[in-house]
Amino acid sequence: MIILVVLAFIAGCFLIFYSIKARKLDKATADLPAPGGTLPIVGNAMMFLGDNQTIVNPEDTQVLLDNCLDKDVVYRFLRPWLGHGLFIAPLGLWKTHRKVLLPVFHNKVVEEYVDVISNQAGVLLERLQEMSGKGKFDVLKYITACTLDIVFETAMGERMDVQHSPDTPYLRARHIVMEILNMRLFKVWLQPDCLFNLTPYAKQQKTNIHLTHKFTDEVVRKKRQEYEKNKENPTEDKQPGGKLKAVLDLLFGREIEFTNEQLREHIDSITIAGNDTTALVIAYTLVLLGIHQDVQQTVIDEQEKIFENSLRGANKEDIQEMKCLERVIKESMRLYTVVPIIARKVDKPLYLPHSKVTLPAGTGAAIGAFAMHRSEGIWGPKPNDFDPDRFLPERSIGRHPAAFVPFSYGSRNCIGRNFGMIIMKSIISSIIRCYKIEADEIGPLKIEMLLFPINGHQVKITRRAAFN
């Protein structure tokens, strides 16, 4: 009974504090044309952002993302897991670490991973064979296993073979941590640490975060040993024995000598930020191609020009030629923006020129990327229609540079965007040459940390005879 009274008291204080703060902020930003806390299709899922103000126009988006480089407090739940890894690193640290990490994600470097990607794409095609001609199924599970294999091998140099062995203690732990984090984002009463720590989830989170840290720590330790051993004979982009250098290998011996803990935090951030995002965009794109058979045919025509009738994996030259597929992927990211909200901390008063309001220091502001990507004012009539030609150069003239922000915008944008694009093009190219895809409407969506269709990514696939 006493515990219940104490809990009710803490929850009451929290709500009073929260509503006073929210009222003050509402007064300061009353003129901001935010969508009243709701977005089309995803409904009121934005509520989880609490007292953040939402921006849905390119001019203010540009000003916010150029000036506010620190992450909003909403990301604090990730801290026990990702520490000061790049994704949520505080500003001072982020500036120096991002400089060191940038060259590692340069196009020339990530292009070297095309063989890893195409090998995993080959495994994916074999795994999908079991579903060929068998009716509808959720394709995301297959894609996620494939992107996990790619991201782990390229980030850590570890072959996980998730596509064949999806049930490992590490992956289970990772999944549990993500479920708990998602839950905290949406269940307001689990947000204050003092309440969360009273629930069994706190212990479960701690145990499973520990498990995932142990896994990455072990890989980092092994890689450090290899680095120390080979320090005398550094090689350009290959490990001794001709093995390609993973992101982790490239983080040793830089301007900043990272500690093992910092390396773990960066690698965990990269594998978490890079995997589900890429898998989701691939899955949405496949469904859209399944719905729009005419667009699928145009993509196939382009693939035939590049590969004739071959099912070989894509190399970097092939990937550069996939202009039509690139437009399709961009249009898929516009309509189904997998990171639908980008939240930043406003650390000094910030004037938004479009909305003509000043955001007070100490508040949070969110870019409603999903809503902006479906705005008629920006994209013209029928903004909800799937039309990849919107991204033809001649139709992109005059579009504001911050109107399309699937990878965010400004100096704290996605560091893995080029790599993500290479993975997406290579995997979709392999699947589409091997299988004809059919699909129905995507249906209602929900926001967890990312954007998911409630009914999954349902597709039907049939083996194509034209490619072998």
Quote the least distance from Cβ 246 to ligand HEM, whole Å: 11
Q: Please say which residue, 191 or 277, places its beta carbon nearer to ligand HEM.
A: 277
- What φ, ψ does residue 198 adopt, rounded to 5°? -85, -10
Residues that bind ligand HEM (CB under 6 A): 86-87, 98, 151, 269-270, 273-274, 277-278, 281, 338-339, 342, 406-408, 412, 414-416, 419-420
Q: Please say which residue, 12 or 90, places its beta carbon nearer to ligand HEM.
A: 90
Rounded Cα gap, residues 467 and 432, in angstroms:
10
Q: Please say which residue, 425 or 460, places its beta carbon nearer to ligand HEM.
A: 425
Quote the least distance from Cβ 385 to ligand HEM, whole Å: 21
Quote the least distance from Cβ 140 to ligand HEM, whole Å: 14
Annotated binding site for heme: 414
Instruction: Please give the order of strands across the beta sheet that includes 435-438.
Output: 137-138, 458-463, 435-438
Annotated binding site: 414
Point out the residue whose Cβ comes nearest to ligand HEM.
416
Quote the least distance from Cβ 213 to ligand HEM, whole Å: 18
Rounded Cα gap, residues 28 and 32, in angstroms:
9
Q: Please say which residue, 131 or 343, places its beta carbon nearer to ligand HEM.
A: 343
Quote the least distance from Cβ 449 to ligand HEM, whole Å: 10
Q: Please say which residue, 270 or 432, places its beta carbon nearer to ligand HEM.
A: 270
Contact status, residue 340 vs residue 280, Cβ threshold 8 Å: no
Quote the least distance from Cβ 258 to ligand HEM, whole Å: 14
Q: Please say which residue, 157 or 420, places its beta carbon nearer to ligand HEM.
A: 420
Quote the least distance from Cβ 105 to ligand HEM, whole Å: 7
Q: Please say which residue, 143 or 177, places its beta carbon nearer to ligand HEM.
A: 143
Quote the least distance from Cβ 366 to ligand HEM, whole Å: 9
Q: Please say which residue, 412 or 460, places its beta carbon nearer to ligand HEM.
A: 412
